Structure 1
Amino acid sequence: MHPLSRRIGDVLDLDPSGRAIEYNGHWHTWGQLAKMSRQIAKAVQPGAHVGILLRNTPAHVASLLGVLSAGGCVVVINPSRGDERIKADIAALDLPVIVGTSDDITQLAQPGECTTVVTIGDDSVQVRPGAPSVPGSVTVAVRMLTSGTTGPPKRVDLTYDMLAVSVIGTDFTAAPAPAAVSGSVAIVNAPLVHIGGVYRVLQCICEARPFVLLPRFELGSWAEAVRRYSPKAVSLVPAALRMVLHSELGPDDLAGVRAVTSGTAPLSAEDADAFTEKFGIPVLTSYAATEFGGGVAGWTLADHRRYWQSKRGSVGRATLGAELRVVSDDGTPLGPDQQGLLEVKPGQLGPDAQWVRTTDLARIDADGFVWILGRADQAIIRGGFKVLPDDVRAAVESHPAVLGAAVVGRPDERLGETPVAMVELREGETVTDAELTDYLRNRLAPYEIPSEIAIVKSIPRTPSGKADLTAVRQHFTGRER
């Protein structure tokens, strides 16, 4: 049995009558969670690929834990992609085991007689056995969907070792399980169909920490949970952090919170500073990717106290045993503060990891702090000038009326491409596209100013909270100009 599977089982047995997950105002116990997960585990052979239409509910958490306890591989299926695409995805996967609600099974999965079907309810599990399967290798824990910001989501294999390093630590083979359930309560608002949600749930389970599970980030329910349980740390993607920043919430609402962690998408130093000024709480940004199974760089509280003023805007330093470097296009390593492509040796891949080249432009200073400058594959070449969308987005979002922005390139017959921006305003604020353009003239070079700004009610986003750049691009290119 893998140490991650063992840790899950050990924690589930610590306090069967104790509080484990609060959902919609009701607490589910560790014993209830253990019972459901073990019923599901009985239907899973080690190494078997198990499709789960994952939602943020206790039953789906139990399903995730059950498959991992059995040494199976969770194949993540996003139940929000539209019925026809979900049906096609499931048919193409041809899974031996599938887990879902009764509606999922009857409307979306349409399993064959050979498929083992696990139907889950609020506190019930029903198994319809399929064809017997042969145990396989216990290597891949989760086939995780990427966020799909720039195209269709793809699946990335995350091994048991990768997840164990991320949620237990580099010494996961020897690290002892907690002796008792934690007295503090965490909040999980990231979706389980994204690596952030899986990471947060497994982290809470491996630390024996009860948690409030939110179906999605919603300001009111999130703030109520923070007020009720005063967690020492909370996690907010940049879009959610900006919602909190520009809300009516004040320092008393976040009393007890000592740090906010933020990742998945770029967060400007200005927003981080504004959050700290308003609430008195440092924002610890990080850098992660689904392919790495978690984070590879981030801020600690100690680093924030010592370095933030001189390193603001950085995503921090290497974490979890990762190594980072910047290289030129031909792969030549570059020195401190030189701009190039970021390469990573993720600690999650072990001591024999190879360098993985990302598509992110970055620089690393002499102290090891990393600045992400933008995506090389999203750079817009406007008449020979390079425009980084993140620079333009940050400038647009610095306007006091703007809640969020997304910037993409649009084909142009004369210039090749021009930047265009979709903008979401703060509640109750008004500003015109012409006013925004004038605002940007003193903040961007002329070639960086968007050729069109579309003000919309809400920016389309992926489950992880990132702007859905494919949908944004279609908004500008899928209609007559």
Structure 2
Amino acid sequence: MSEHPLSRRIGQVVGLDPDANAIEYDGHWRTWRQLAGLTRQIAAAVQPGAQVGILLRNTPAHVASVLAVLSAGGCVVVVNPSRGDERIRADLAELTLPVIVGTADDITLLAQPADTTTVVTIGDVDSAAQIRPGAASNPGPASVAVRMLTSGTTGPPKRVDLTYDMLAVSVIGTDFTTAAAPSAVSTSAAIVNAPLVHIGGVYRVLQCVCEARPFVLLPRFDLASWAQAVRQHRPKAVSLVPAALRMVLHSDLGPDDLAGVRAVTSGTAPLSAEDADAFTDKFGIPVLTSYAATEFGGGVAGWTLADHRTYWKSKRGSVGRASLGAQLRVVSEDGTPMEPGEAGLLEVKPGQLGTGAPWVRTTDLARIDADGFLWILGRADQAIIRGGFKVLPDDVRAALESHPAVLGAAVVGRPDERLGDTPVAMVELRSTGPVSTADLTEYLRTRLAPYEIPSEIAVVEVIPRTPSGKADLTAVRAHFTGP
């Protein structure tokens, strides 16, 4: 089997200009030479097709580990080292991986690999990897590039297999088999603040590498660190999940801090049109929302700058039009296609799956207008039935987040003996002074139907979130009902 175009592109880019800057981390740049050196060391321990578990953190050495596995034609199995020791040990025991990569602390505390497992211990990109060989294996070529963890918004995370072709479409384009590699390293830097244990982080890193674009890698989204990076490097585009975007919106940052940014992309969770408009009003920067899923290997719909200039006023709140060769439609529960503007279940033919892909039914309620713009109306599988009335949590969440004192909200259903279920809400406030739950309930009375108003509102310091920045609804539900 010949080398996949994605593997070939990685090799071409890391060798393009060895002494140029590749990754800035913790205030210091690492070069493409350093990145390539560690990548080659780790790749030598990976057989084509081998499943390689990486205890992924946002560091340059972990980036090199991902690139190494993909360069060697292996399969990255994403392991989140923040899920708790016992769960990680059980996960790895079940996976029985031939190769495990991680820091010395993670390997010692979390992995406890068998003697038959090849163990690769990493530090920084300028230090050699320590490799303890295990049993020899020759699994053969693999089509799966990454076994990616879902965000775990509504339950335990599960793994989704993303093929080399799917990732190549997302980070190179639909013409990835013939597209030419960059001829020089870009002079402008990007900022990566999404976690590598989430598809958003893997996508952003691979996109930067495939474009030969240096990037600032943040361990996590931190407002001060992110703002400093934006001021210093003046990227043309930045990516912010809705929770991070709202933090920037309600911070003391002003237009001068984001000078040079021409667009903000936002996905992974719903963002209200009001917040998008408020961000644009404050900073003078358009917000380009998108629609993606781990199962698709990336985005299937989104706004372009051209569409935003032409259509935003009439299509505000939409997540844009089909992208990357995707096809979209809305159907009834029995699969009958709906007319433009009618609500139903969203079905997708992702461009990442190729021309012969079947329709994939999502759990999202949506509508698509005659111009192809998509609106996500909520999750069909999260609807709360209160005394026979359907409550969509996203409607309640959006109403709460429209309150000037609310930074974020999460809404779930709680069992009720008389009504079946009632909505309950967790709210995180801005630092603008106290607001009572009674005030919030009164505020909702003019914005929601009586049956949509939460039976309880809990004000918390911080809403629990998944690595992707979405509200962790399992943790929110446990707050109200117990584990």
TM-score when scaled to structure 2? 0.99
Gaps of 5+ in 2: none
1:203 counterpart (207, 212, 228): 207
SS at match of 1:261: strand
1:190 counterpart (194, 205, 218): 194
1:467 is aligned to: 471
1:39 is aligned to: 41
1:333 is the counterpart of 2:333: no
1:14 is aligned to: 16
> What does residue range 43-442 of structure 1 map to in structure 2 within 5 Å?
43-122=45-124, 123-442=127-446
Query: What CA distance in whole angstroms lies between the structure 1 residues aligned with 2:432 and 2:305?
Result: 35
Instruction: Give how far 1:428 is off.
Output: 3.9
Which stretch of structure 1 is more off in the superposition, 194-203 or 107-116? 107-116
Please give the per-residue CA displacement for 1:103-128, whole angstroms capped at 9, x wherever unaligned: 11111111111100000011330111
Instruction: Give how far 1:40 is off.
Output: 0.4
SS at match of 2:225: helix
Query: Structure 2: which amino acid aligns with 1:347?
Result: G
SS at match of 2:115: coil
1:448 is the counterpart of 2:452: yes
Query: Structure 2: which amino acid aligns with 1:6?
Result: R
SS at match of 2:394: helix
Instruction: Give how far 1:436 is off.
Output: 0.2
SS at match of 1:244: helix
SS at match of 1:138: coil
Query: Structure 2: which amino acid aligns with 1:462?
Result: T
The RMSD of aligned alpha carbons is 0.7
Query: Structure 1: which amino acid aligns with 2:16?
Result: L
Instruction: Give how far 1:429 is off.
Output: 2.7
Instruction: Give how far 1:351 is off.
Output: 0.5
Query: Structure 2: which amino acid aligns with 1:156?
Result: V
> What does residue range 20-31 of structure 1 map to in structure 2 within 5 Å?
20-31=22-33
Query: What CA distance in whole angstroms lies between the structure 2 residues aligned with 1:242 and 1:136?
Result: 46
Please give the per-residue CA displacement for 1:130-157, whole angstroms capped at 9, x wherever unaligned: 1111142320000000000100000000
Query: What CA distance in whole angstroms lies between the structure 2 residues aligned with 1:145 and 1:139?
Result: 17
SS at match of 1:471: helix
SS at match of 1:305: helix
Query: What CA distance in whole angstroms lies between the structure 2 residues aligned with 1:370 and 1:401?
Result: 30
Query: What CA distance in whole angstroms lies between the structure 1 residues aligned with 2:405 and 2:388?
Result: 32
Please give the per-residue CA displacement for 1:171-201, whole angstroms capped at 9, x wherever unaligned: 0000010000000000000000000000000
Query: What CA distance in whole angstroms lies between the structure 2 residues aligned with 1:24 and 1:207?
Result: 23
SS at match of 2:424: strand
Instruction: Give how far 1:254 is off.
Output: 0.2
Query: What CA distance in whole angstroms lies between the structure 2 residues aligned with 1:357 and 1:263?
Result: 19
% same residue: 83
Please give the per-residue CA displacement for 1:245-290, whole angstroms capped at 9, x wherever unaligned: 0000000000000000000000000000000000000000000000
Query: What CA distance in whole angstroms lies between the structure 1 residues aligned with 2:113 and 2:128?
Result: 20
Query: Structure 2: which amino acid aligns with 1:421?
Result: A
Instruction: Give how far 1:478 is off.
Output: 1.0
Query: What CA distance in whole angstroms lies between the structure 1 residues aligned with 2:139 and 2:175?
Result: 28
1:457 is the counterpart of 2:466: no
1:5 is the counterpart of 2:7: yes
SS at match of 2:378: strand
Query: What CA distance in whole angstroms lies between the structure 1 residues aligned with 2:452 and 2:346?
Result: 24
Which stretch of structure 1 is more off in the superposition, 417-426 or 123-132? 123-132
Query: Structure 2: which amino acid aligns with 1:79?
Result: P
Query: What CA distance in whole angstroms lies between the structure 2 residues aligned with 1:106 and 1:157?
Result: 28
Query: What CA distance in whole angstroms lies between the structure 2 residues aligned with 1:419 and 1:289?
Result: 26
Instruction: Give how far 1:52 is off.
Output: 0.2
SS at match of 2:295: helix
Query: Structure 2: which amino acid aligns with 1:37?
Result: T
SS at match of 2:207: helix
Query: What CA distance in whole angstroms lies between the structure 1 residues aligned with 2:361 and 2:187?
Result: 41
Which stretch of structure 1 is more off in the superposition, 140-149 or 105-114? 105-114
What is the number of residues matched between the two proteins? 479
TM-score when scaled to structure 1? 0.99
SS at match of 2:325: coil
Query: What CA distance in whole angstroms lies between the structure 1 residues aligned with 2:130 and 2:351?
Result: 39
Query: What CA distance in whole angstroms lies between the structure 2 residues aligned with 1:103 and 1:422?
Result: 35
Query: What CA distance in whole angstroms lies between the structure 1 residues aligned with 2:60 and 2:433?
Result: 38
Instruction: Give how far 1:430 is off.
Output: 1.3
